[in-house]
Amino acid sequence: MSGTFVGMPAFPEAASRAVRDATLRGNLRHATHTIRAKRAQAVAELSDWAALRTAGMRIKEHTLRHLDRYLVQLEESVTAAGGTVHWALDAEEANRIVTRLVQETGESEVVKVKSMATQEIGLNEALAAEGIRAYETDLAELIVQLGKDRPSHILVPAIHRNRGEIRDIFRTEMGRWGRPAPEGLTDAPAELAEAARRHLREKFLRAKVGISGANFMVAETGTLVVVESEGNGRMCLTLPQTLISVVGIEKVVPAWRDLEVFLQTLPRSATAERMNPYTSMWTGTTDGDGPRTFHLVLLDNGRTDTLADRVGRQALRCIRCSACLNVCPVYERAGGHAYGSVYPGPIGAILSPQLRGTASAIDASLPYASSLCGACYDVCPVAIDIPEVLVHLRERVVEGGPAVREGNRVVLKPAKGHAAERAAMRAARWAFTRPGALRAGQRLASGTRRLHPRTLPGPGRAWSGTRDLPAVPVEPFRDWWQRTHGGKEGTG
Amino acid sequence: MRVGLFLTCVNDTLYPDTGRAVVKLLTRLGVEVDFPMTQTCCGQAHYNTGYRHQAEPLAWHFSDVFGAYEAIVTPSGSCGAMVRELYPRMGERAAAEGRGDALTRALAPVVPKTFELTEFLVDVLGVTDVGACYPHKVTYHPTCHGLRGLGLADRPRRLLQAVRGLELVELPGAEECCGFGGTFALKNAELSAAMGADKVRSAESTGADVLCAADNSCLMHLGGTMSRLQSDMRPVHIAEILASAEEDPAV
């Protein structure tokens, strides 16, 4: 994945700034609660939601099981429709291909449709290094780009910014990228939108190359699909002469008909809309309509490694709706930046450590960035059991085990720094498989109960720093039971 | 009916009152309760922290201890979900690792017979009015594993609504996690504390004196937060409310 976020501290440290920032917490709380309530309403309108969810899950499962076949079919369909398909094993290769394709057009500017895949590989930075300027045209991505910031949400990348901050960014930065913000710009939403519209229009009309991702790729027809709310994407998809789409290999669906499911579940899960305002579909190239040249870059970047994992592969079903972020109590308080990836929230916590591996501090901590409350699984429109994958990845972190990395079967070692915990877990297992030992421990605790502090030293300080410990009772239940019901030790 | 009480290690060690309440309640309803003395822990903390292989011996131990009972009752949505939802998964994983179906077969007699207390009352005994009396204003927090793992739905609320003298008030944002999450409370202490404080504040906003839940682990976290925030509310396990009777009231 992109080098953008490498060197991030582990999740708990990264989250602590957000937890202590009352304004940020307030912004996030307001935004997530609003969209959460709207989503619930939009979903409740459909009597067959459960069936749609199952259908979406099955289509994705089936496709992933036969991914090799559908990708080859897709390549044939795209080629037959006049497009060119490129295969990229990792971020570096994808960036190299796209850079070369842009250079071949002789252009040094491109307009971009909001795309997670190009964020994931750090395409804008790679293009900049070769003297090519990439302009983000999605309003929120524009705010993030102009503010030299990072996205903090999959769907609403500037969720952490308020109107005043956006006005300041527009005033100081727009002029350096193109048409400056109008004099006396205020933070009124209509004025901000108008400033962005004028700034972007200039880009749309001038650009000869457009770069996009895709929400879906239809294997049988070679059709790519982008769903969006603003229409900026459609401008980038239709006005330039050359269109380059960078898409993760898991985005393929077998047939046109499969879209009937996702075009219902995605907008309702994402923006609580019955249907998204713009659905753009294109199949190769067509004389006199749209780009003259179309390139599709199929991106692996850790996806086939993820596919090789029987528990973790379900993360590849994700359609990037963000419903899990909006319902997650941890995301709501930690903010998106703490996840150290373009994929924040619960899905990011299972996707990033699979795509990147669990070697870094941030990736080893992400599987623990959850209380396992299960709200994310409940809302997921393709029924990804995120808690199950989190626990599975925790096992990989603390116990190591078999995995596939870069196409090779490897046995991962446990991550460093869990020795004390591992010893404690072993000791607890030892005591819990020996009821006598457990009982001795309980009696010791009860016998010394008056000496127990309500706060703890060492690792326990994290708990007792903000909460009081319960008092230890005079006798554990089992002693009471034995005293009153005559239960014999060792009987079952 | 003779049931095995699976009290859970947390209740046994720290909350014996909950166990005594379950015995009192079930006995009042004509159920013969036994507490097998060799029981220990379901292994949830191990499993959820990533130590599945350390949790396996505890699943075996559970099946040895409880295999012979007609039903197994536990006053914990979380430990109940561990047995019912996650034990079968542990069996599948063991099989996938080439260790055969021995664990799955060992667990087959206990998994479907394990019930969280409110499930047992409503689904097995078929009662919602358990003859309790508890004259307090109560708000109910549905804990995550009970709510989403076991699907307890409105069973606890129906039981509470039938308690004489009890005024049940709705908790705003009831279905949001309290932030305990087992080792999450240690590994992400700041987030956990922030979630707990928010939960306590929304409970306080109801004007209730008692915050009730069907899991003492969550109540330990919330009770510790209340104590630190010097809140006037008290955390009380639902078993203690349901066991409370006019002639023998719980405080």
For the stretch A70-116, pLDDT in tens is 999 999 999 999 999 999 999 999 999 999 999 999 999 999 999 99
With a cut of 50, list the residues of chain B below it in pLDDT.
none
Q: Are A375 and A327 in contact (CB under 8 A)?
A: yes
Tell me which chain A residues have a C-beta less than 8 angstroms from the C-beta of B27. none
Q: Are A195 and A178 in contact (CB under 8 A)?
A: no
Domains of chain A: 8-45+313-433 (no CATH), 49-301 (3.40.50.10420), 451-491 (no CATH)
- CA-to-CA distance for A309 and A215, rounded, in angstroms? 23
Window 335-364 of A, Cβ < 8 Å to B? none
Decide if pLDDT at A197 tops 90.
yes
- CA-to-CA distance for A386 and A200, rounded, in angstroms? 38
- CA-to-CA distance for B245 and A24, rounded, in angstroms? 48
- CA-to-CA distance for A439 and A140, rounded, in angstroms? 59
Sequence-separated (6 or more) residues with CB below 8 Å from residue A113: A137, A138, A210, A211, A212, A213, A226, A228, A232, A233, A236, A237
| pLDDT confidence of residue A1 | 42
* Interface mutation vs chain A, best among B7, B12, B60, B231, most A CBs within 10 Å: B12
Window 237-276 of A, Cβ < 8 Å to B? none
Query: What is the average pLDDT value for chain A, to the nearest integer?
Result: 93
Of B15, B54, B188, the CB nearest to A426: B54
Contact assignment for B148 to A377 by CB distance below 8 Å: yes
**Does this complex have an ipTM over 0.85?**
yes
Of A369, A391, A490, the CB nearest to B37: A490
Window 178-217 of A, Cβ < 8 Å to B? none
Contact assignment for A12 to B221 by CB distance below 8 Å: no
Q: Are A110 and A102 in contact (CB under 8 A)?
A: yes
Work out the percent of chain A whose per-residue pLDDT is above 70: 97
| pLDDT confidence of residue A492 | 41
Of A370, A378, A425, the CB nearest to B51: A425
Q: Quick: pLDDT tens for B122-166.
A: 999 999 999 999 999 999 999 999 999 999 999 999 999 999 999
Query: CA angle, corner A138, sides to A132 and A144, nearest 5?
Result: 75
Domains of chain B: 2-124 (1.20.1050), 137-242 (3.40.50)
* Interface mutation vs chain A, best among B32, B188, B231, most A CBs within 10 Å: B188
**CB of B40 within 8 Å of any CB in chain A?**
yes
- CA-to-CA distance for A398 and A442, rounded, in angstroms? 28
Q: Are A391 and B184 in contact (CB under 8 A)?
A: no
Window 4-23 of B, Cβ < 8 Å to A? 7, 9, 11-17, 19-20, 23
Q: Quick: pLDDT tens for A359-372.
A: 999 999 999 999 99
Residue A435: closest CA among B86, B80, B9: B9
Q: Quick: pLDDT tens for A448-465.
A: 887 777 777 776 777 788
| pLDDT confidence of residue A447 | 82
| pLDDT confidence of residue A487 | 59
| pLDDT confidence of residue A463 | 78
Average pLDDT for A301-305: 97
CA distances from A50 to A54, A374, A449 (A): 6, 17, 51
**What angle do the packed helices A419-432 and A435-447 form, to 10 degrees?**
110
Tell me which chain A residues have a C-beta less than 8 angstroms from the C-beta of B197. 466
Calculated CA dihedral for residues A212, A218, A219, A220, nearest 10 degrees: -140
**CB of B245 within 8 Å of any CB in chain A?**
no
**CB of A78 within 8 Å of any CB in chain B?**
no
Window 76-135 of B, Cβ < 8 Å to A? 89, 96
Contact assignment for A477 to B11 by CB distance below 8 Å: yes
Q: Is B81 exposed, middle or buried (0-12, 13-18, 19+ CB in 10 A)?
A: buried
SS3 A125: helix
Contact assignment for A466 to B196 by CB distance below 8 Å: yes
Cα diameter, chain B: 57
Helices (H), A147-188: 163-177
SS3 A15: helix
> E-assigned strands of A401-492?
401-405, 408-412
Tell me which chain A residues have a C-beta less than 8 angstroms from the C-beta of B215. none
Tell me which chain A residues have a C-beta less than 8 angstroms from the C-beta of B81. none
Residue with tokens 């939802």: B85
Query: Chain A residue with minimal CA distance to B219?
Result: A470
Q: Phi, psi at residue B165, to the nearest 5°? A: 85, -10
Contact assignment for B46 to A429 by CB distance below 8 Å: yes
| pLDDT confidence of residue A453 | 75
Residue A5: pLDDT band with limits 50, 70, 90 = low
| pLDDT confidence of residue A490 | 43
- CA-to-CA distance for A197 and A191, rounded, in angstroms? 10
| pLDDT confidence of residue A61 | 98
Amino acid of residue A44: A
The least confident of A253-262, A315-324, A462-471, A477-486 is A462-471
Tell me which chain B residues have a C-beta less than 8 angstroms from the C-beta of A470. 14-15, 220, 223-224
Of A375, A425, A478, the CB nearest to B54: A425
**CB of B47 within 8 Å of any CB in chain A?**
yes
Residue with tokens 């990229």: A88
Of A429, A473, A487, the CB nearest to B37: A487
Query: Chain A residue with minimal CA distance to B184?
Result: A371
Contact assignment for B51 to A399 by CB distance below 8 Å: yes
| pLDDT confidence of residue A488 | 55
Query: Chain A residue with minimal CA distance to B66?
Result: A492
Q: Quick: pLDDT tens for A152-192.
A: 999 989 888 889 999 999 999 999 999 999 999 999 999 99
Residue B37: closest CA among A365, A51, A357, A487: A487
Euclidean distance between the first and the last CA atom of chain A, given in angstroms as a whole number:
54
| pLDDT confidence of residue A3 | 42
Average pLDDT for A289-309: 97
Q: Quote the tokens at residue B223.
A: 């009770």
